[in-house]
Structure 1
Amino acid sequence: MQFQNTLIARLKAVGLGFMCLFALDVTAQSGWTKEKTEGFYQLNFQSLKSDNYFTLDGEQLETNQFSQQSLVFYGEYGVTDKFTIIANWPLQTWNSFETTETVSGIGDLRLEFKHALLKKYFPLSIAVAPEIPIGKANHFAKSKVNDFEQINLPSGDGEFNVWTTLATSFALPNIPFYGNLFSAYNFRTEYKGVSFSDQFAVGAEIGYHIADFVWVNARLNALKSVDEVEVATDFVRGDGSEYTGYSFGASVPVYKNIHVSLNYRNYTDWVFERKNIYSSGVLGVGVYYEHKPKKP
């Protein structure tokens, strides 16, 4: 049976990293913090469809098409000029294979506490971001071919983990051009007695304001596991996932401080080779609102 054979191959080969594809890549890290009471709030819808799966050994396999759509909330609020609180939360994620039903649920909530180490001439920040496992850690999708078969497609990974990020930024004084650089470390714990490898990430972004109207940006992010994961302990928790991701985006104002954004993201092997991940283009469209405090 096609579904059963494909399922067994996936169970033997790997652990999917699809839970982290969307939430962590909504926005790039920067060295800037918000001004006091300044806010940024975004809703973004993203979609991925892929039958290209990369195993823990980096081998590319063709499987039944995996599909994931996600509606993600992202928000930043300036508590003080040097301290910003950030929320990154998939409000709903839909997962399926072409041979299964679609299952959905909320994702894990990531809360980030960001402090400016330097702000004026050389923006530099450090952030600590616990990820709270409130999503569905087990959610089984039934096969459309055989009612007695099912596969676990959760919307959360079930484990508590903490990201620590160091980021810096620059902006040119007379040209609407900026850049960001960051490095991050993800301290992972366990789920039901199964421990996971920590991860580290690096990334860069550049952006330009065209004709004082359209913001465009390009990003490069890379993720790698600290430990060499040779055997998938649990195929739905993303243990051993690695990749290099690149993206291009644009945003335009539509009414006062409300903007519409469009983003395209894909994965490659430039920095770190793809492992334990479904790889394909991810298209995102969103709307965001910026609140600027009134100056005295």
Structure 2
Amino acid sequence: MRKNLLTVIALTLVFQSYAGGGWVHNKYKGYFKVAQNMIRSPHFFDSDGNTVDIPTVSLYTSSIYGEYGLSDNLTAVAYIPFFVRSTLNKVEFRQSGNTIDGDAINSFGDTNIGLKYGFFQNRKVVMAASLTLGLPLGSSEVSSERILQTGDGEFNQLVKIEASHSFDKAPFYASLLLGFNNRTKGFSDEFHWGGEVGFTSERVIAILKVYGIESLYNGDSLGNAQSNGVFANNTEYLSYTPELAYIINGSWGLSASAGFAFSGKQILAAPNYSVGMFFSF
């Protein structure tokens, strides 16, 4: 059971939260979402994909995500984790009575900004290409007094191409994506791939997302961040995330999701839960 659970942390959440697939917004149209994510994990996927026990790590992320049409073909995208709290539980050994102190940190998180260009927008299969820049604005310093982080300290560039199709005779859509993430400071580059299917109605949107990250193992063995198993190098996973959104009116809505996994390496092993409120215009 443990191997079927995966933390999709703040860093990797960015890659799954982008709404739109191959579609882009028209000029001056957009989508904004305020979300709260929660992860609490006493388990970790090691470098061989096995699940091991660790002192419980928790990660709480408050974020703003936005898409805004600069033109009918070009959309600006941003993910801003404006408050991230990470905690590590205290460990007490029953036989010896010795303890290992816990830790906690509150900070800004690593931020993503990007541009997404749409083409073939009037055809049955629409496509879009995007460039996302990962800005190392979180806390990545590690010392003997503090081992928790809210970022990995490296600047990365993710290039993606996405394709989507909306079915004419049924309220369903499907999307596919491929991506390459160039990472710096000793972190290995990554190959990204994924897909999603969705059902849409006047009030309810149901989505199932699948997302995979595979390391190219071309960086240093550890990179610059390995302290708490959240921002490790050579992270890999294959995840699935069901999401449900309810449209309150034409512009406002609520959403909830839970992220799980088929497999993982170098990442916490626990579900990621998310709730949010969105606004489209």
Q: How does the TM-score come out when normalised to structure 1? A: 0.82
2:13 match: secondary structure: helix
> RMSD of aligned C-alpha atoms?
2.0
Q: 2:178 aligns with which of 165, 170, 183?
A: 183
- Superposition pairs of residues 134-283 of structure 1, within 5 angstroms: 134-138=137-141, 150-190=145-185, 195-210=186-201, 212-227=202-217, 231-233=221-223, 234-236=225-227, 237-269=231-263, 274-283=264-273
Matched, 1:95 2:89: no
> For the residues of structure 1 that align with 2:83 and 2:142, how far apart are their CA atoms?
13
Runs of 4+ in 1 over 4 A off after TM superposition: 16-19
Q: How does the TM-score come out when normalised to structure 2? A: 0.86
| Residue matched to 2:95 | none
Q: Summarize deviations over 1:229-249 as a string: whole Å, max 9, x none.
A: 784244144211000111111
Q: Summarize deviations over 1:18-56 as a string: whole Å, max 9, x none.
A: 552433332356111111111100011010111111112
Q: CA deviation at 1:116?
A: 1.2
> Is contact 1:29–1:180 with CA below 8 Å preserved after alignment?
no
In percent, how many aligned pairs have the same letter? 22
Q: CA deviation at 1:71?
A: 0.8
> For the residues of structure 2 that align with 1:17 and 1:138, how far apart are their CA atoms?
22
59 and 231 in structure 1: CA distance in 2 versus 1, 3 angstrom threshold = farther
Q: CA deviation at 1:96?
A: 1.0
1:154 match: secondary structure: coil
> For the residues of structure 2 that align with 1:139 and 1:154, how far apart are their CA atoms?
7
Q: CA deviation at 1:183?
A: 0.7
| Residue matched to 1:120 | 122
Q: CA deviation at 1:201?
A: 0.8
> Is contact 2:174–2:197 with CA below 8 Å preserved after alignment?
yes
> For the residues of structure 1 that align with 2:75 and 2:220, how far apart are their CA atoms?
39
> For the residues of structure 1 that align with 2:211 and 2:256, how far apart are their CA atoms?
18
Letter of the 2:46 counterpart: T
> Is contact 2:103–2:147 with CA below 8 Å preserved after alignment?
no
Letter of the 2:212 counterpart: A
1:22 match: secondary structure: helix
Gaps of at least 5 residues in structure 2 are 1-6, 91-101
Q: Summarize deviations over 1:69-127 as a string: whole Å, max 9, x none.
A: 10111100011111000001111111111112321111112111111132111211110
> For the residues of structure 1 that align with 2:242 and 2:30, how far apart are their CA atoms?
24
Q: Summarize deviations over 1:161-190 as a string: whole Å, max 9, x none.
A: 100001000001132211110011100011
| Residue matched to 2:108 | 106
Q: 2:37 aligns with which of 46, 68, 82?
A: 46
Matched, 1:62 2:46: no
> For the residues of structure 2 that align with 1:19 and 1:289, how far apart are their CA atoms?
21
> Is contact 1:56–1:229 with CA below 8 Å preserved after alignment?
no
> Is contact 1:186–1:198 with CA below 8 Å preserved after alignment?
yes
Deviates more, 1:41-50 or 1:221-230: 221-230
